[in-house]
Amino acid sequence: MRKVRQNVLIWITLVVLASNAFLGYQIYSLIHPQTASSQTIYLNSSSLSSNQGSTQVIRTLNGTSFSYEYDVRLSVSKLGTYLIGIDPKGFSSLYVLIYKDDGNTTSLSLNNTKAQIVVTDHEFEFKMFVSGVYENNQTVTPQVIANALGLYYQFLSPLNGIGKVSNSSIDHETNSSD
């Protein structure tokens, strides 16, 4: 009789441990959504509209100095924290300033190519000011710079029910470097 009770207690303990491990994994997965499966979306010149009124191009010995302003409109399916970044090709210097309608700004450069932003509307719009020196000898146009910039975004984490980022205490823009 005593041996049966001992076996029952062992089985109950094993079932409780297995269910706790399963539930713990489920809670961890809910709190820490996977970002590896999030698709990175690259934007090209057709995704960006250039404001020709603020164009400046100057040829120098080491390339072409430029300054362009772009209007960017993104349609996102999920609200939350996004990684926005650049993958620049052919620049000896580069500075990107992202200016949102709410007055928040994010800056990117050759040394700081990505940042986190919080998106609270499915239609997300911002102005982007891009300036620098492009090393390539081809004619510098807003389309050439937009394509060489390699602008992309990627979903990181959702908002919770009260409009805050669900997996951290981030509720403002933060820059991060490579």
Contact 114, 84 (CB under 8 A): yes
Q: pTM to 2 decimals?
A: 0.66
Q: What is the pLDDT of residue 59?
A: 73
* 117 neighbors 106 (Cβ within 8 angstroms): yes
C-alpha 55 chain-centroid distance: 27
pLDDT at residue 107 is higher than 90: yes
- Amino acid 161: pLDDT: 55
Does the pLDDT value for residue 109 go beyond 80?
A: yes
State CA 95 to chain mean position distance: 17
Compute the average pLDDT of residues 152-164.
Answer: 74
Confidence of residue 115 (pLDDT cuts 50, 70, 90): very high
Mean pLDDT of 97-123: 90
**Positive or negative, the Cα torsion across 94, 100, 105, 106?**
negative
